[in-house]
C-alpha cells in the first residue's frame, strides 16, 4: 500500500516516515532527518499541514509569495500556458511569447538604465549569470585582468560556484574545498540601532579598491537589505555613496534583489527604495510568488556596452521558461491590481512598531526592518539556540517564523490581514520575551 491510500493521522504518520527514509532536505543533516512538518495546502497568509493544523505564514517560506498562497489565477496562468506550449529551449534564436512579454514588463518596472533581461530558474543561477556577465564584459572590452568581485560579510548570494564564493557567511562555506577565486570581502554593512557607520564603510571600500587596484575589479555585489545575513537595512545614505565610488572607478554594481524586489520593501525593485541605478539586477522569489521556480537578471546599458559583440556561452536548459514567464506576468498583475507594494509599507511599519518594544529586553540586540522585511536579533552566547527555540515555540503556537543565525526573520505575505498580523506580533513577542 502507498501513502496515498491512507487518510487522516495514519496518512500523516506514513508521510513523515517516508520523508525521513527517502528525502535529503536542503539545509539538513545527512543521516539525521528532522521530524518533518508536512504541508498540504495554503490560502492567503495561512498554510495547513497534513494533520489539518493551520499556521500563520510569517516568512513566506523563504521570502516568496507576496501575493499569498492558493491564488487560482496563477494556477490558471500556468495551466493555460502548459496546454499551449509547456516548454521549448530559449537557446540561440528560439523564443516564446510569455518570455518576451515578461522582459518588456520587467524593463517597464525597473530603473530606467535597464535594457535587457536574462531569465533564469532562481536566485543562485541569476547571481552566477551576473558575475559571469560582469567578468565577460570587462574581458571583452580588453581588460581580462579585471575579474575581482567585491562582496560583503553577511551577504548571501546562493549555493553555486560563484554565488557561494561571494556569500560572506562562514557556516555556509565550510567543507566544500576551494571555492571560486577572485572574491574579496568587505565589512558587514550593519549600523546597530542607527549608529552612523556609512563613513567607515565607504572609507573601507575606497581603501580596498586602492589596495587591490581598480583595474582588477570587475564588480561589487550586494543585497539592498541583507536577508539571510540577518534582515539588515543599510543606513539611508549607504547605497548612493557606494554607487558613486564604484562609478568613479569603473566598477560594475550587481544588486542582488532576489528578496527585495516585487513589493517586499514597498517598491518593484529595492533599487528605487534606495535611489540607485545598478548595472545588473538579479531577482527571483517574488517574481512568480514562488508558484514556479523562476528568476531574472536585468542588465543595464553600461554592462551591455562593454559586452557588446561578446559571445555569451552561458545558459541553463530551462532558462526562458514559458510557464514561469506566464505565471510571473499574472503575479505582477495581482501585485499591481491589489496595491500590494503600498500595503507592504503600511503593514511593515505596523509590524515594526508592534515589535519595537522588544528592544527593551537585555537579550534583544535590535528590532529592525524595511517594508515587510523584518528581523529581531538576539544577543548573548546562546543567541542562535535561543532564536531556534523561538522558531520552534512559535510554530507550536501556530505561527511560522524562521531563525537565521541569531536573528528571527519575518517576511509575511503582503496580503496578510491585520488580525493575523497582530497574532503574529503577539506570539513572537511572547516567545522572544521568554527566550
Catalog residues that contact ligand PMP under the rule CB under 6 A.
62, 122-124, 127, 156-158, 223, 227-228, 256, 258-259, 284
Distance CA 53, CA 131 (A): 43
Residue 121 CB, shortest distance to ligand PMP, in Å, is 8
Q: How far is the CB of 372 from ligand PMP (least distance, A)?
A: 15
Q: Whose Cβ is closer to ligand PMP: residue 59's or residue 198's?
A: 59
Q: Which of 370, 414, 339, 335 is nearest to 106 (CA)?
A: 335
Output 98 or 155, the one with its CB closest to ligand PMP.
155
Complex with ligand PMP: residue 60 or 299, whichever CB lies closer: 60
- Least separation in angstroms between residue 294's CB and ligand PMP is 9
Q: Of 16 and 373, which CB lies nearer to ligand PMP in the complex structure?
A: 373
In whole angstroms, the minimum distance from the beta carbon of 260 to ligand PMP comes to 8
Please, what is the minimum distance in Å from the beta carbon of residue 284 to ligand PMP?
5
Of 131 and 329, the one with the shorter C-beta distance to ligand PMP is 131
Using the minimum distance from each CB to ligand PMP, give the nearer residue, 201 or 228.
Answer: 228
- Residue nearest to ligand PMP according to CB distances in the complex: 123
Q: Least distance in Å: CB of 156 to ligand PMP? A: 5
Amino acid at each position: 500500500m502507498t501513502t496515498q491510500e491512507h487518510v487522516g493521522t495514519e496518512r500523516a504518520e506514513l508521510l513523515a516516515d517516508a520523508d525521513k527514509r527517502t528525502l535529503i532536505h536542503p539545509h539538513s543533516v545527512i543521516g539525521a532527518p528532522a521530524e518533518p512538518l508536512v504541508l498540504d495546502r495554503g490560502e492567503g497568509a495561512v498554510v495547513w499541514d497534513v494533520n489539518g493544523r493551520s499556521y500563520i505564514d510569517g516568512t513566506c517560506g523563504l521570502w516568496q509569495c507576496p501575493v499569498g498562497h492558493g491564488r487560482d489565477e496563477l494556477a490558471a496562468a500556468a495551466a493555460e500556458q502548459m496546454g499551449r506550449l509547456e516548454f521549448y529551449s530559449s537557446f540561440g534564436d528560439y523564443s516564446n511569447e510569455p518570455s518576451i512579454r515578461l522582459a518588456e514588463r520587467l524593463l517597464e518596472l525597473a530603473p530606467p538604465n535597464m535594457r535587457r533581461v536574462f531569465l533564469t530558474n532562481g536566485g543562485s543561477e541569476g547571481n552566477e549569470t551576473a558575475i559571469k556577465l560582469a567578468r565577460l564584459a570587462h574581458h571583452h572590452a580588453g581588460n581580462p585582468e579585471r575579474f575581482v568581485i567585491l562582496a560583503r560579510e553577511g551577504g548571501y548570494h546562493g549555493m553555486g560556484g560563484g554565488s557561494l564564493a561571494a556569500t560572506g557567511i562562514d557556516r555556509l562555506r565550510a567543507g566544500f574545498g576551494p571555492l571560486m577565486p577572485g572574491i574579496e570581502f568587505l565589512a558587514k554593512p550593519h549600523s546597530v540601532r542607527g549608529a552612523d557607520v556609512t563613513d567607515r564603510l565607504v572609507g573601507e571600500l575606497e581603501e580596498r579598491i586602492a589596495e587591490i587596484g581598480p583595474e582588477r575589479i570587475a564588480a561589487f555585489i550586494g543585497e539592498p537589505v541583507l536577508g539571510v545575513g540577518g534582515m539588515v537595512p543599510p543606513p539611508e545614505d549607504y547605497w548612493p555613496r557606494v554607487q558613486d565610488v564604484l562609478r568613479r572607478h569603473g566598477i560594475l554594481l550587481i544588486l542582488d534583489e532576489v528578496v527585495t524586489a516585487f513589493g517586499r520593501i514597498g517598491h518593484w525593485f529595492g533599487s528605487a527604495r534606495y535611489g540607485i541605478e545598478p548595472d545588473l539586477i538579479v531577482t527571483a522569489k517574488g517574481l512568480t510568488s514562488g508558484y514556479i521556480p523562476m528568476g531574472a537578471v536585468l542588465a543595464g546599458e553600461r554592462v551591455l556596452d562593454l559586452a557588446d559583440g561578446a559571445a555569451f556561452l552561458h545558459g541553463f536548459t530551462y532558462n526562458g521558461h514559458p510557464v514561469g514567464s506566464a505565471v510571473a506576468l499574472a503575479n505582477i498583475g495581482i501585485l499591481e491590481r491589489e496595491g500590494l507594494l503600498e500595503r507592504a509599507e503600511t503593514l511593515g511599519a505596523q509590524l515594526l512598531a508592534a515589535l519595537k518594544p522588544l528592544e527593551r529586553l537585555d537579550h534583544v540586540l535590535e528590532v529592525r526592518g524595511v517594508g515587510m522585511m523584518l528581523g529581531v536579533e538576539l544577543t548573548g552566547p546562546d543567541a542562535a539556540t535561543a532564536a531556534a527555540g523561538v522558531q520552534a515555540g512559535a510554530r507550536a503556537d501556530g505561527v511560522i517564523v524562521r531563525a537565521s543565525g541569531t536573528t528571527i526573520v519575518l517576511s509575511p505575505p503582503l496580503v496578510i490581514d491585520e488580525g493575523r498580523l497582530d497574532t503574529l506580533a503577539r506570539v513572537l513577542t511572547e516567545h522572544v520575551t521568554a527566550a
